[in-house]
Chains A and B, each alone.
Chain A
């Protein structure tokens, strides 16, 4: 019986370890692709360290908007974003056109910006999450 319990816990531990590791590898790979997307489509305005241009283009690094409004952020990339938003207490009233990215590319870009420049996200953004997120 003892052996069985030991075996059970060992299996669970090993299993969860590999699963987490898988998640970690998946996130790293997605961020890697996301970095390329970022440097192609986003860097002109949001700048290379996600600092943005104060008053014109909102920051992504330590951005309360990005970190707290995951759904809205995905929609913003997918459909474009226009009009007044508040980011870190500062008002922005500008336009970001839709970039024509595929759902997988949006997920990669999200994973990159959610986990760079001091940002940290608990869960990985999947292409399915992007696909499901549609404009009402």
Chain B
């Protein structure tokens, strides 16, 4: 009897400890690494996005404007890539293949563009085909307006859902009090288009007077992670908060995610933005980070190569320079772990069709996570 009381006591104590570890925004460091990070492409400046072609080669965007084709160990610059506006956080951004790329050959690219009359630039979305050397059949699908010389918050990431709709994000372009809550303006939104760039008839703001009808959800700050949850088919985003208040959200049709009316963050200067963290009619994040990790690309792990991580979410941290692994229980983050510490600013992470996870790191290049035997 005495023994069992002791056991229960110890169990209770250790339960307390494990709870403490999973307290708000606590990140854990694993004792042993389950993988080796193998640098497969070196000498890259800011590899922003990655796409994996059926022949095993890769397309990588360098923020400075070069589209790189990596095949058989060689890097080659792809011709006829879009003309970019290189300013602040803007440049050549994300790249994604159509889910049926094998049959239709469409590649989607997001970038900062000067297109239009006004000085400055804003986020643009285009699609093209790739003939092995050049982009061909380039088509501009969307260009946010107006142009501005602000250097901030271009977004942008792509995701396709199970029905073949194209989702992309555009940040609020440094105009938080003007753009995110106004449906007649671009910026601070997640958009949804048909794969050919046309607007789906059942988009939430079709027919709303003056609204940009491509908008799917609003009240975002700067989403730089967007992915389909392969288990549920939902679209998930992560977005940069100000100082504190980075978020993960599940993106639902027509919903308002609250920026800048509600936030868990404060201004860089330390002054408050708002005293509200929640409000009727505005969505709560699934998870938020204080302090900010500056989240970049993200991916769900589904592959058999990493059995311990199945169903986990991987997200890059630009600020603290690591890859974050998040364990989920339903729609709740229950454990956070720091992988690849101090390697550099992690810009993108993707699980490739070969089942391996690839990580793009600024100033370094592309790493492949090879599980330890």
Residue numbers of A with Cβ under 8 A of B are 39-41, 43-44, 47-48, 53, 56, 80, 82-83, 93-95, 97-101
Contacts and interface: CB of A to CB of B under 8 A. Distances in A.
Given A56-B321, A97-B45, 15 more contacts: A40-B150, A40-B152, A48-B270, A56-B320, A82-B363, A83-B363, A94-B344, A94-B345, A94-B363, A97-B64, A97-B91, A98-B64, A100-B85, A100-B87, A101-B87
Given A40-B88, A100-B88, A47 B45 contact: no
Interface string B331-364: 0000000000000110000000000000000110
Cβ-closest 7 pairs across A and B: A100-B87, A95-B363, A100-B86, A41-B151, A48-B268, A48-B269, A43-B268
B46 A99 contact: no
Contact of B63 (A44, A47, A97): A97
Interface string B86-98: 1110110000000
Interface of B: 45-46, 63-64, 85-88, 90-91, 150-152, 174, 268-270, 294, 319-321, 344-345, 362-363
A47 B294 CA distance: 14
Contacts of B294: 44
Contact of A53 (B90, B151, B319): B319
Q: Is the interface of A mostly helix, strand, loop or mixed?
A: mixed
A34 to B, nearest CB: 14
Contacts of A43: 268
11 contacts: A44-B268, A56-B319, A56-B320, A93-B363, A95-B46, A95-B345, A95-B363, A97-B45, A97-B64, A99-B87, A100-B90
Contacts of A94: 344-345, 362-363
A47 B344 contact: no
B86 A82 contact: no
B62 to A, nearest CB: 10
Given A39-B268, A41-B88, A95 B151 contact: no
A98 B152 contact: no
Contacts of B344: 94-95
